[in-house]
Structure 1
């Protein structure tokens, strides 16, 4: 008798709990559509870990004594960004003593070693432990200078974060490097998580303006914020938005309400030069499938098209045969141009060279080698370009520690000429005068494009793969290194 009485009570409590949970879920999803809450959810810039950081003392957070210069960069729209410049290890070890102030040696460092322009993810600051580990690895193991900034609204930087604002911040950092003595072709643009959206847009912008950079590295990237929202799972287990996809047009509302889009997929065609994408399979925040989508987007222009039947029911046998033949041709073409290397206990590397992809030259669509010979889009002349794309899918690294995996650092070092055998490319130069502590860029010609940087010159890729002694040709075999 008592069990019969208790059952309705338990069911009532369960229904009440589910109703409350559903209401909270609906409220949380609804708040994403509100610009204020959307901005704070995406950037999390109010979370300033480590709290009350002393940016004038980077040694407190693990960096070597006087290896890092703390300073400010001013943007074209008058925001002030906190920044760290970390000397490459070979430069640091040649200082008279470890008590030497690094500022006077920055220009010399920029002229003698390549520089990684690092854009971090959301939340926290440039002094966050995981980020400091990246700086230490890049400056020591890769022997590169590192410039790390805090975007507007982060740490002690002024302003409020926005997509366009973060891109302006990135451009200001690039121009500070050029103004301080770096050559564009010696700057590697590197982003992590949210920073990959910033890096991709900066690379696309520089490519459009034909300003030099050595290449771009995207660590734990996403294809777009809309896709992140769709695929995000709490602790990698509980899908956040998946229930909405079961309601017709519900997710369309979320997509429509997104103000900050960071649609990296859309800028893929604009990015020139070398691109390295890195992701860990055990990433609980952003699934590695985002990187696979981006890699495939870079590869797509080189693959044959497949005409999908519009009405499978009425499709004839001949049409199906043609369809399957197209799929087979596409698969064979992919295997022919993509080199795949399996590395035990580390992961898989896929890579290919695109000598122009598909574009319009004098109004006619051309592909691959034809475009390579034809020059830039529109038949405007100038040197053709080559784009090498590498996808490193690792077994470990999670979301925050992809860049500290030494295996990935070695791949980056080899692909971007940072390892010791590449040091001869950077002859020693006498130290020039000190750089200013606050850089103020010239007024932009347009709101987004910024001003020209004549010191950077025209965009120019690194020597081709064959010239560097690496694997050659657009057609290679699939290999397994066991």
Structure 2
């Protein structure tokens, strides 16, 4: 008995955690459970009455400064949205704004079914100097959870011209539906279309701002509206090239942009290059590994990664975005902001995004990439086309690595945020300009995963994108 116990205890000590981990891997291979874990959209505080988002005053906003209202997507989902007035503008029109009676509206005293009837909407639509930030938040929670209200305050306090439109994606908060990659892209399209077609704000007065998961949404949206052709946009197709299930509804087919938009800026805060890449090294709270243990068995890691249903290939989308802008000579202002002490998404993911953006510029210079996406080589057989594609990829990658090694350091300014020049206090700002394309990367020593959103860094990036800085 003593001998059996001596083996049983170690076996249980090893076997139980391994069994639980294997069960976890099996469960997250199921698309429904996987999406529940990735988006965490049901983790929220809506069950607690004080967190009713229809009463924005509870988060420090002035009476009727915020208008909660519905947005409708092309596939017939209803999104919950906030339009937030800049504080300076609110103060100038406080009497008219506060006098609006919303006590009889739906949703508990603040929700407005038709925002076009409000003074708030008129102040946005009728002001030729108005700027609009489309805010795409991260996973989990809803529009008023975590740091989101503080970041709204920060954005609307720096200028009397900057409005904010924030949405809860499908399945989040009070929005209908369930989240998927294609679904969230349609949600972002609903926000852009409302801003440009209903509020009549031209793209050059709009900034796309994404945080965490929202950076993937913003990158996909930018490629959707800013690329030359449907094939280049590629946003409504997954990483493996498959098209989403349209359920027979032609109303929300892939958007073809005949005249690409030029947004004032695209700002990605705490971004990741792609979901499979990020998850392969991800650790919850920075210390509970998810897929990292599988790195010892690359074949098994590859199998698990292949079962990730929503890819969110942001680095590839930035490549298409910068290539299209450079080729067409269009203006593109892209800013990447990350904290080096981010425990959730490591800052080296930001380097991969920067590299992806530069790769697009190199592809444009070499004249590669576009012909395969637009089908210009369809007369060649598959093997020959694949061989040429791989040769071009190797050539481009070699050029990108060489270019970054030679030039990035020259374009980077280092700063120390403390009194002592320690590595932990060092910040980097890289500005890469090529024609009308400007890529700016900011790596800051502090801020973690969330706090950068209400530090001065993000509002100042917005100010810079809008050209409002002195």
In the superposition, the TM-score normalised over structure 2's length comes to 0.73
Q: Secondary structure at the match of 1:109?
A: helix
Partner of 1:99: 98
Alpha carbon RMSD of aligned pairs, Å? 2.6
- Alpha-carbon distance in structure 1 between the residues aligned to 2:437 and 2:219: 14
Q: Secondary structure at the match of 2:349?
A: helix
Alignment of 1:442-481 (within 5 A): none
Contact 1:50–1:128, Cα closer than 8 Å, also in 2: no
- Alpha-carbon distance in structure 1 between the residues aligned to 2:442 and 2:67: 32
- Alpha-carbon distance in structure 2 between the residues aligned to 1:183 and 1:242: 44
Partner of 1:13: 9
Unpaired stretches in structure 1, ≥5 consecutive residues: 306-323, 356-385, 422-482
Name the structure with the higher helix share: 2
- Alpha-carbon distance in structure 2 between the residues aligned to 1:277 and 1:325: 22
- Alpha-carbon distance in structure 2 between the residues aligned to 1:325 and 1:93: 53
- Alpha-carbon distance in structure 2 between the residues aligned to 1:199 and 1:57: 27
Partner of 1:197: 216
1:391 and 2:441 are equivalent in the alignment:
yes
Partner of 1:150: 168
Partner of 1:125: 142
2:180 to 162, 173, 177: 162
Partner of 2:72: 74
Q: Secondary structure at the match of 1:153?
A: coil
With CA pairs under 8 Å and 6+ residues apart, which has the higher RCO, 1 or 2? 1
Sort the Cα spacing of 1:10 and 1:220 in 2 relative to 1 into closer, same or farther, 3 A: farther
Partner of 1:285: 344
Q: What is the number of equivalent residue pairs in this alignment?
A: 367
TM-fit CA distance, 1:211: 2.1
- Alpha-carbon distance in structure 2 between the residues aligned to 1:134 and 1:154: 19
Q: Secondary structure at the match of 1:156?
A: coil
Partner of 2:266: 216
- Alpha-carbon distance in structure 2 between the residues aligned to 1:166 and 1:174: 13
1:171 and 2:189 are equivalent in the alignment:
yes
Alignment of 1:296-311 (within 5 A): 296-300=355-359
TM-fit CA distance, 1:410: 2.5
Contact 2:124–2:199, Cα closer than 8 Å, also in 1: no
TM-fit CA distance, 1:90: 2.3
TM-fit CA distance, 1:206: 0.6
TM-fit CA distance, 1:253: 1.1
Residues 146-174 of structure 1: CA deviation (Å, up to 9, x unaligned): 00000111111111111111001101011
Unpaired stretches in structure 2, ≥5 consecutive residues: 101-114, 228-256, 326-331, 367-397, 419-424
TM-fit CA distance, 1:289: 0.7
Sort the Cα spacing of 1:124 and 1:330 in 2 relative to 1 into closer, same or farther, 3 A: closer
- Alpha-carbon distance in structure 1 between the residues aligned to 2:25 and 2:302: 13
Sort the Cα spacing of 1:342 and 1:73 in 2 relative to 1 into closer, same or farther, 3 A: same
TM-fit CA distance, 1:10: 5.8
Partner of 1:364: none
Contact 2:46–2:173, Cα closer than 8 Å, also in 1: no
Partner of 2:124: 109
TM-fit CA distance, 1:330: 5.8
Partner of 1:350: 430
Partner of 2:84: 86
TM-fit CA distance, 1:32: 1.6
Contact 2:181–2:310, Cα closer than 8 Å, also in 1: yes
Contact 1:187–1:213, Cα closer than 8 Å, also in 2: yes
Q: Secondary structure at the match of 1:45?
A: coil
Greater shift in the superposed pair: 54-63 or 221-230: 54-63
Residues 113-151 of structure 1: CA deviation (Å, up to 9, x unaligned): 211100111110001141011100000024411000001
TM-fit CA distance, 1:184: 1.3
Partner of 2:240: none
Q: Secondary structure at the match of 2:453?
A: coil
Sort the Cα spacing of 1:411 and 1:202 in 2 relative to 1 into closer, same or farther, 3 A: closer
In the superposition, the TM-score normalised over structure 1's length comes to 0.71
Sort the Cα spacing of 1:47 and 1:246 in 2 relative to 1 into closer, same or farther, 3 A: same
Partner of 2:451: 401
